[in-house]
Amino acid sequence: MLRIDCPFCGLRDETEFVYGGDASRKRPDLQETSQDVWNDHVFLRDNPKGPHLEYWFHQHGCRSWLKVQRDVATHEITDVRFADKEKGQG
């Protein structure tokens, strides 16, 4: 069981959250027309064996999107913060 320390709700079980995947990706500018740039964004992942920045949605809690830094080889969580600094303050 992962336990995620939500900045609004405190330490909660993984079962309250929904996983949102790799949070290091940046959506290309919508004016971008290069196929390669969009292919990289939509389909390719770094998928590192180590620290991974990822989204979690606190569905059964404050309903904030969070950015979590987790080592995917050990499950150690080293950082949790609101994905959106402005709106996430609750």
Residues that bind another protein (CB under 8 A): 1-2, 13-15, 19, 21-22, 35-36, 39-40, 42-49, 52, 54, 72-75
56 CB burial (10 A radius; 0-12, 13-18, 19+): buried
Interface with Zn ion, residue 83, by CB under 5 A = no
Taking the complex as a whole, how short is the minimal distance between the CB of residue 82 and another protein, in angstroms?
19
Q: How many residues does the chain have?
A: 90
User: Are 60 and 32 in contact, with CB atoms under 8 Å apart?
Assistant: no
Nearest residue (CB) to another protein, 14 versus 89? 14
